[in-house]
Structure 1
Amino acid sequence: MTSSGIDITGVGAVSGYGWGTTSLWDGLASGKAAATLHHDHERPGQNPVWLATVPAGGEDSDGTSRFGRALRGAAREAIDDALARGWRPGRRVGLVHAVVLGEVDEWRNFYLRDDGRRRVRDYLTLMPSTPVSQLMQEYSFHGPAMNVSAMCASGNAGMITAKMWLDTGFVDDVVFVATDLSLTPENVEHFVKLGVGVVDVEPQDGCRPFQEGSQGFGMGEAATAFVLTGRSSGSYARMLGGSMSHDAFHATSIDPDLTQVRQCFDDALADAGAAPHQVRYLNAHGPGTAQCDAAETAMLETVLRSEAQVYSIKPLTGHCQGAASAIETAAAILGFAHGLVPAAPRVADGHPLLLDGFTAAEAGLTVKSSLGMGGHNSVVVFAPA
């Protein structure tokens, strides 16, 4: 028997496909990757690379920062969506923001273009607290507001934090946002050097989670937002529970015995009051790397007893780093509304439980796993509304 959980009643998204959840859903439905070829005009002679960057957009009043525009754009869409579904903000609305690398473009400009000199007002825009505080001010929200960071698992960490706040009565509602617009040439180059980023081939050729021939992941950007509450009648989904753990093993590699990963899956199901046979889909971290795919395959076959089917959208959106699990959760939640599972098309021989493209949804729970670099394990359990 599952627990009652917390409602997710508003969704907003900015991705490589464009601004808004409609752009995200239509892009995923196309089965084609969001990435396009980019040339490094600062370093002539470099080969172009495939990147799923967020395109220009947003409100002029939000300033020139791509990061700030995307954060506030996704949050506004989620809040407007929730209000249209009947949500009315409570007295204490909190804000949780998941971020790993904030304002990368602007910090880069600060050092390389501005030589470390800016007006104080412009310097303050670099602080991770500034866009969060501006959003709170825009809506007169007075609950707690903070940033959380757990590498690629930051989105799940934010969702779990939001649910903890709501479960304890610390707040009445939570706006959760995850933002990562960090694809500067330097960051891309170092993920390639780590042997996990693949930018020299089309994304679906290089990134093949749970399939033969996968080389790693393409790089993506995203900002994703949700309104979570216990007081809504117009929700997309319910977050039933979740868990996090840490391998305490290595700066990049997963502990090969998978003890902590397995415990995290078990604890998340227990927190949700769910049994393995109730899980119909594993929305995987699925970066297409050998270590992560092997770890999640083991969880699919042992903890979930090969009763669930698995999918990953990273071949389509790219790996959105600190916003990865959040954009992947948004895809699953939009799928609940459409009665579809937004899986990426298969391109090679793969695991027999791997879905092939958009698939009619069947009854059951969705487990969202995210394994952040450095040993950050996270699992969240969702049910359709």
Structure 2
Amino acid sequence: MKSSRRVVITGMGALCNIGTTVDEMWASALKRQSQVSNIPKQWQLFNDFKCEVWAPLPPLDYAARGVTKAQLLKTDLVTVHQYITATEALKQAGFTFSEGDTKRTLKINELDNTQRMGVITGTAVGGITTAFNNHSLLVLGKNKKALEGMLSDEQKQSLHFQDWLAPRKLNPFAIPMLMSNAVSAFLGIQFSINGPNQTIDLACAAGSSAILTSFNAIKNGLLDIALTGGSEYLNDDYGASFRGFDVSGTLTQNKGDITLANRPFDKQRAGFLLAEGGSGALVLESYEHATKRGANILCEIVGGGNTFDAFSMMQPDPCAKQAQIAIEQAISTANISQQDINYINTHGTGTISGDESESALIKRLFGSRPLVASTKALTGHSIGAAGALEAIITAKTLMHQQAHGMPNLEEPINDLNFAVESQPVEAEYGLSQSFAFGGHNIALILKRINNEN
């Protein structure tokens, strides 16, 4: 099999706080629109939170997006959302579907060899909402029934008894719902794809790592096509996932106007804005495979790097040595120079130490020349989905030669060429980088296709 093949993007799908499709997300991004709200009141009845804001997802009509009631009962939303964005990406790539061999599954009509297509997606924690909600039943179930007849109405009110939420019964599908590999396995089953099926659990770099793994598999001739991306969903009945980040001190501590709470690379930043969730999906193909079937090529992935800090589970290495090596690996595999990078989509979370080390790294490698943006300034941090969403934004930036701005960047911590306002950009190559808890560093380099539609 031929190696070192070109790898192109032919389809993309997105779901996040600023849009339920790629087009919606991109339009909102160019308008510098975000969505920030107070956390659910239900959570605050049972816990005190240092951070009281997050980035919620917009309402979604699941039936209109092809999700059945049975699937919603048997599948965690982290997987459902990846299915929705994967469907969007496959349709944009020009694929059509027919009934599969098993009940309620689909077959991709244009796929000649199902072994030559893989599914490689990323998530940090998978179906953790299923785990937490079903666990609440085990803790509260019998006790709530026993207490109901023992407590007075006044006692029930003071204890918020009516708000002790739990499922009526343990979901018999709880185990497959909470397994992180379900995010990829569900897609393989639903679309009848028999090639390698893998979920990358790499915290905040999960989506980027899944894209890089897919890129390498196609580049080296192991696959012709890959369905990739990342997904996360972190809304449980009591805000347990949110509380975990909250007690670690990583969430934004900005008080007052909640629209100003999210401030990557600003001197007033005080932690990241956690998103309720998000999902991004991409269809990657070898250039030969895409052109042979007449696909519309959106963008090209030309390089990638993957390193590990071996420094701390929670803090980035302030020297960013391994992050720099990951970027240098990506530049080398792309066979370009640092001067060719004119747009950088940062990890840019808004934490004190993370933004400091990342901005210093960019200044050291690229100076103040490339246009620099943080998509998390709009979307908040969707953890395992973030890298996939940012790769999509990078692709759209190169396609349209237009970059989104960062609305709350008023006092930059470094004299980089930050995109405060949405603006035109002349860029053939774009760098998208992700840095994760644990010390994982992923860098992706995308290239503009000059004849895109």
Instruction: Answer whether TM exceeds 0.5 for this pair.
Output: yes
Checking the alignment, whether the CA contact within 8 Å between 1:245 and 1:376 is kept in structure 2 is: yes
Q: 1:161 — aligned with what? A: 213
Query: Is 334-343 or 48-57 further displaced after alignment?
Result: 48-57
Pair 1:193-2:247 in alignment:
yes
Q: 1:177 aligns with which of 229, 236, 239?
A: 229
Instruction: Measure how far apart 1:229 and its partner are.
Output: 0.3
Pair 1:63-2:87 in alignment:
no
Pair 1:271-2:333 in alignment:
yes
Task: Give secondary structure in 2 for the equivalent of 1:232.
Answer: helix
Map 1:8-23 to 2 at 5 A. Answer: 8-23=9-24
Residues 214 and 197 (structure 1 numbering): CA distance in 2 closer, same or farther, change over 3 Å? same
Q: 2:278 aligns with which of 215, 219, 222?
A: 222
Q: 1:232 — aligned with what? A: 290
Q: 1:319 — aligned with what? A: 381
Instruction: Measure how far apart 1:328 and its partner are.
Output: 1.3
Equivalent-residue separation in structure 2 for 1:4 and 1:165 (angstroms) = 10
Equivalent-residue separation in structure 2 for 1:8 and 1:267 (angstroms) = 21
- RMSD between aligned residues: 2.4
Q: 1:89 — aligned with what? A: 111
Checking the alignment, whether the CA contact within 8 Å between 2:343 and 2:372 is kept in structure 1 is: yes
Q: 1:136 — aligned with what? A: 188
Residues 276 and 128 (structure 1 numbering): CA distance in 2 closer, same or farther, change over 3 Å? same
Q: 2:135 aligns with which of 92, 95, 111?
A: 111
Residues 162 and 192 (structure 1 numbering): CA distance in 2 closer, same or farther, change over 3 Å? same
Instruction: Measure how far apart 1:90 and its partner are.
Output: 5.0
Pair 1:380-2:434 in alignment:
no
- String of CA shifts for 1:278-311, please: whole Å, max 9, x gaps: 0001110011122221222222222223321211
Q: 2:104 — aligned with what? A: none
Q: 1:148 aligns with which of 175, 190, 200?
A: 200
TM-score (norm 1): 0.91
Q: 1:80 — aligned with what? A: 91
Larger radius of gyration: 2
- String of CA shifts for 1:210-231, please: whole Å, max 9, x gaps: 2221112101121110000012
Residues 139 and 284 (structure 1 numbering): CA distance in 2 closer, same or farther, change over 3 Å? same
Percent of aligned positions with the same letter in both sequences? 21
Instruction: Measure how far apart 1:17 and its partner are.
Output: 2.4
Task: Give secondary structure in 2 for the equivalent of 1:224.
Answer: strand
Q: 1:100 aligns with which of 110, 124, 140?
A: 124
Residues 157 and 261 (structure 1 numbering): CA distance in 2 closer, same or farther, change over 3 Å? same
Checking the alignment, whether the CA contact within 8 Å between 2:16 and 2:25 is kept in structure 1 is: yes
Residues 203 and 263 (structure 1 numbering): CA distance in 2 closer, same or farther, change over 3 Å? farther
Residues 119 and 327 (structure 1 numbering): CA distance in 2 closer, same or farther, change over 3 Å? closer
Instruction: Measure how far apart 1:259 and its partner are.
Output: 1.9
Checking the alignment, whether the CA contact within 8 Å between 2:251 and 2:271 is kept in structure 1 is: yes
TM-score (norm 2): 0.78
- String of CA shifts for 1:140-172, please: whole Å, max 9, x gaps: 211110111221111221111001110221111
Task: Give secondary structure in 2 for the equivalent of 1:113.
Answer: helix
The amino acid of 1:275's aligned partner reads S
Equivalent-residue separation in structure 1 for 2:112 and 2:369 (angstroms) = 40
- String of CA shifts for 1:315-340, please: whole Å, max 9, x gaps: 21001111111111112222333331
Equivalent-residue separation in structure 2 for 1:217 and 1:244 (angstroms) = 24
- String of CA shifts for 1:49-104, please: whole Å, max 9, x gaps: 3222223432234314322221110110001111169x943522100010111112
Checking the alignment, whether the CA contact within 8 Å between 2:343 and 2:427 is kept in structure 1 is: no
Q: 2:268 aligns with which of 205, 213, 222?
A: 213
Equivalent-residue separation in structure 2 for 1:335 and 1:99 (angstroms) = 24
Instruction: Measure how far apart 1:121 and its partner are.
Output: 4.1
Checking the alignment, whether the CA contact within 8 Å between 1:198 and 1:218 is kept in structure 2 is: yes
The amino acid of 2:307's aligned partner reads S
Residues 338 and 364 (structure 1 numbering): CA distance in 2 closer, same or farther, change over 3 Å? closer
Equivalent-residue separation in structure 2 for 1:261 and 1:132 (angstroms) = 27
Checking the alignment, whether the CA contact within 8 Å between 1:49 and 1:200 is kept in structure 2 is: no
- String of CA shifts for 1:126-149, please: whole Å, max 9, x gaps: 323334333212222111101112
Q: 2:163 — aligned with what? A: none
Unaligned stretches of 5+ in structure 2? 97-108, 142-168
Residues 55 and 153 (structure 1 numbering): CA distance in 2 closer, same or farther, change over 3 Å? same
The amino acid of 1:190's aligned partner reads G
Checking the alignment, whether the CA contact within 8 Å between 2:254 and 2:269 is kept in structure 1 is: no
The amino acid of 1:226's aligned partner reads L
Query: Is 40-49 or 189-198 further displaced after alignment?
Result: 40-49
Checking the alignment, whether the CA contact within 8 Å between 1:78 and 1:227 is kept in structure 2 is: yes
The amino acid of 1:51's aligned partner reads W
Equivalent-residue separation in structure 1 for 2:253 and 2:389 (angstroms) = 20
Task: Give secondary structure in 1 for the equivalent of 2:283.
Answer: strand
Checking the alignment, whether the CA contact within 8 Å between 1:70 and 1:223 is kept in structure 2 is: yes
Q: 1:306 — aligned with what? A: 368
Instruction: Measure how far apart 1:192 and its partner are.
Output: 2.3
